[in-house]
């Protein structure tokens, strides 16, 4: 047999690749197959390519890399697969192999910017300060009305995602439990969530406290590394995982996240970093923590629909908890969204790097939302919040896009007791 095109460390597992029986059941669930209609842009096609490379039958050519780049990493294929192929870890390992040759030249600069700014709190804060200035000075209105960014589709995609950039809103390092104390949890504030949706973190901490948890919010926590893991930057990802383990220590009952992408990365830390297994086992999404909590909720007369973030539904198997929580709010009518677990096109930084495919998925999602007649969309991931809000803005759909905890916090405020 010819030597494999992959080399340790982090080579995709050949036994896992061979679990695929080519049945094709995953194909209709794959968003990129749906948009592009190419076998090689389906899970089965990508597994075929990865296996051929692992068995030394093909090289890691540009065409190979392109089919892997176009994958959203949404893991809808994992939910569908009867053979239990763990596509996400195969994709991450293959991207780690491709990463050794560097990003494709056409997006090298942009990737460099993304990975040196997004996960770094200081740089991200400075960039957001400049963006606030860009918005307040009227420059954003001018750029959008003149279409100045049209020749630069990736920059335009990044700019289009921006809603109003809020001011930083640091939480206290300790939020005491209210009522009967159940234990002590750590809150992962997340680099995107913390910067662009500080209210979601504030509401998360408040609800956890109302549910009886003392909430620790370490100031020094950095990025969890999810963006880097999904891009195959496994060395950087491991370094971030080790830092987070040291930051949270081991005296917490749980580590809580409210961002699906961060939660799925944390829960899979153990696969990449031996000493992170404990933290991985103690990680919970906020909806898992609250679903059985005694919360006093007042009425909210709203029609709400729910979009399943891929990294919550497919990667963590969490679908029931957010819906149950929303249904507990008196007066709230939850209407199901057709294809609620079809990717909205956000997928970390995919919407910036692959704007055409992302835009088609965004438009499909917004069309489905319009069918529901809901005035509020709830979803538990900052990327989905931004992408869906952008889609609704572009279509002129009068819909508010919020995290489920924001509705729960409003309902807690509305409690008459
Ligand atoms: S992760 Fe998503 S986009 Fe990639 S192959 Fe699987 S279903 Fe398709
Ligand atoms: S459903 Fe699973 S076994 Fe069937 S083609 Fe897709 S990945 Fe392979």
Q: pLDDT 10s digit of each residue in the chain, 417 long?
A: 789 999 999 999 999 999 999 999 999 999 999 999 999 999 999 999 999 999 999 999 999 999 999 999 999 999 999 999 999 999 999 999 999 877 777 778 888 889 998 888 788 888 888 888 888 888 988 888 898 888 888 888 888 887 788 887 889 999 999 989 999 999 999 988 888 999 999 999 999 999 999 999 999 898 999 999 999 999 999 999 999 999 999 999 999 999 999 999 999 999 999 999 999 999 999 999 999 999 999 999 999 999 999 999 999 999 999 999 999 999 999 999 999 999 999 999 999 999 999 999 999 999 999 999 999 999 999 999 999 999 999 999 999 999 999 999 999 999 997
Establish whether residue 384 lines the binding site of ligand 2, counting it when its CB lies within 6 angstroms of any ligand atom.
no
Q: What is the pLDDT of residue 244?
A: 97
SS (H, E, C) the chain: CCCCCCCCCCCCCHHHHCCCCCCCCCHHHCHHHHHHCCHHHCHHHHHHHHHHHHCCCCCCCHHHHHHHHCCCCCCHHHHHCCCCCCHHHHHHHHHHHHHCCCCCHHHHHHHHHHHHHCCCHHHHHHHHHHHHHHHHCCHHHHHHHHCCCCCCHHHHHHHHCCCCCCCCCCCCCEECCCCCCCEEEEECCCHHHHHHCHHHHHHHHHHHHHCCEEEECCCCCCCCCHHHHHCCCHHHHHHHHHHHHHHHCCCCCEEEECCHHHHHHHHCHHHHCHHHHHHHHCEEEHHHHHCCCCCCCCCCCCEEEECCCHHHHCCCCCCHHHHHHHHCCCCCEEECCCCCCCCCCCCCCHHHHCHHHHHHHHHHHHHHHHHHCCCEEECCCHHHHHHHHHHHHHHCCCCEEECHHHHHHHHHHCCCC
The rounded distance, in Å, linking the Cα atoms of 75 and 81 is 10
Q: What is the pLDDT of residue 135?
A: 87
The rounded distance, in Å, linking the Cα atoms of 15 and 22 is 15
- Residue 17 Cα, ligand 2 centroid: separation in angstroms? 10
Q: What is the pLDDT of residue 309?
A: 98
Q: Are 382 and 190 spatial neighbours (Cβ–Cβ below 8 Å)?
A: yes
Q: Are 359 and 325 spatial neighbours (Cβ–Cβ below 8 Å)?
A: no
Establish whether residue 348 lines the binding site of ligand 1, counting it when its CB lies within 6 angstroms of any ligand atom.
no
Establish whether residue 77 lines the binding site of ligand 2, counting it when its CB lies within 6 angstroms of any ligand atom.
yes
Q: What is the pLDDT of residue 369?
A: 98
Q: What is the pLDDT of residue 97?
A: 97
Ligand 2 mutation pick, 15, 16, 24, max ligand atoms within 8 A of CB: 24
- Residue 273 Cα, ligand 2 centroid: separation in angstroms? 28
Q: What is the pLDDT of residue 162?
A: 76
Residue owning the nearest CA to atom 2 of ligand 1 = 74
Establish whether residue 28 lines the binding site of ligand 2, counting it when its CB lies within 6 angstroms of any ligand atom.
no
The rounded distance, in Å, linking the Cα atoms of 263 and 381 is 10
Q: How far is CA 104 from CA 7, 63, 112, 282, 379, in A?
A: 20, 11, 11, 37, 32
Centre a 10 Å sphere on the Cβ of residue 385 and count the other Cβ atoms it contains. 28
Establish whether residue 35 lines the binding site of ligand 1, counting it when its CB lies within 6 angstroms of any ligand atom.
no
Q: Which ligand is nearest to the CA of 313?
A: 1
Which ligand 1 atom is the nearest neighbour of the CA of 26?
7
- pTM, two decimal places: 0.96
Establish whether residue 44 lines the binding site of ligand 1, counting it when its CB lies within 6 angstroms of any ligand atom.
no
Sign of CA dihedral 328, 312, 33, 369: positive
Alpha-carbon radius of gyration of the chain:
21
Sign of CA dihedral 39, 41, 43, 47: positive
Establish whether residue 43 lines the binding site of ligand 2, counting it when its CB lies within 6 angstroms of any ligand atom.
yes
In order of their start, the domains of the chain are 14-99 (1.10.1060.10), 106-160 (no CATH), 174-290 (3.40.50), 303-413 (3.40.50)
Q: Are 317 and 286 spatial neighbours (Cβ–Cβ below 8 Å)?
A: no
Centre a 10 Å sphere on the Cβ of residue 4 and count the other Cβ atoms it contains. 16
Centre a 10 Å sphere on the Cβ of residue 93 and count the other Cβ atoms it contains. 22
Dihedrals phi, psi of 383, to nearest 5 degrees:
-60, -45
The rounded distance, in Å, linking the Cα atoms of 70 and 354 is 7
Which ligand 2 atom is the nearest neighbour of the CA of 27?
6
* Helix 62-69 / helix 87-99 crossing angle, nearest 10 deg: 140
Q: What is the pLDDT of residue 167?
A: 82
């Amino acid at each position: 047999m010819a030597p494999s095109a992959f080399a340790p460390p982090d080579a995709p597992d050949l036994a896992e690749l061979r679990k695929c029986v080519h049945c094709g059941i995953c194909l209709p669930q794959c968003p990129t197959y749906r948009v592009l209609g190419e076998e090689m842009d389906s899970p089965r096609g990508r597994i075929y390519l990865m296996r051929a490379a692992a068995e030394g039958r093909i090289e890691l050519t540009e065409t190979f890399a392109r089919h892997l780049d176009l994958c959203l990493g949404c893991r809808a294929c994992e939910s569908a697969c009867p053979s239990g192929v763990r596509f996400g870890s195969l994709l991450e390992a293959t991207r780690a192999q491709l990463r050794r040759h560097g990003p494709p030249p056409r997006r090298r600069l942009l990737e460099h910017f993304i990975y040196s700014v997004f996960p770094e709190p200081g740089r991200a804060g400075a960039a957001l300060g400049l963006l606030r200035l860009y918005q307040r000075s009227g420059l954003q209105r001018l750029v959008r009305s003149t279409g100045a960014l049209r020749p630069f589709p990736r920059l335009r995609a990044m700019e289009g995602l921006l809603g109003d950039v809020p001011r930083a809103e640091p939480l206290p390092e300790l939020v005491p439990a209210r009522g009967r104390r159940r234990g002590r949890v750590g809150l992962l504030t997340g680099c995107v969530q913390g910067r662009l949706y500080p209210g979601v973190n504030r509401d998360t901490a408040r609800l956890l406290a109302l549910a009886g948890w003392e909430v620790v919010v370490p100031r020094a926590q950095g990025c969890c590394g999810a963006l880097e893991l999904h891009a195959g930057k496994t060395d950087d990802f491991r370094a971030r995982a080790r830092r987070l383990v040291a930051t949270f220590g081991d005296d917490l009952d749980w580590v809580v996240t409210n961002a699906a992408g961060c939660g799925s990365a944390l829960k899979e830390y153990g696969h990449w970093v031996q000493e992170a297994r404990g933290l991985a086992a103690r990680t919970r999404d906020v909806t898992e923590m609250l679903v059985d909590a005694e919360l006093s909720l007042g009425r909210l007369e709203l029609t709400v629909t729910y979009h399943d973030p891929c990294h919550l539904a497919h990667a963590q198997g969490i679908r029931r908890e957010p819906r149950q929580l929303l249904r507990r709010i008196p007066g709230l009518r939850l209407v199901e969204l057709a294809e609620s677990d079809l990717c909205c096109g956000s997928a970390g930084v995919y919407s910036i790097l692959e704007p055409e495919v992302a835009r088609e998925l965004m438009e499909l999602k917004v069309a489905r939302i319009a069918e529901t007649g809901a005035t509020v969309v709830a979803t538990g991931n900052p990327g989905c919040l931004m992408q869906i809000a952008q889609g609704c803005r572009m279509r002129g759909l009068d819909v508010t896009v919020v995290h489920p905890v924001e509705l729960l916090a409003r309902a807690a405020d509305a409690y008459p007791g």
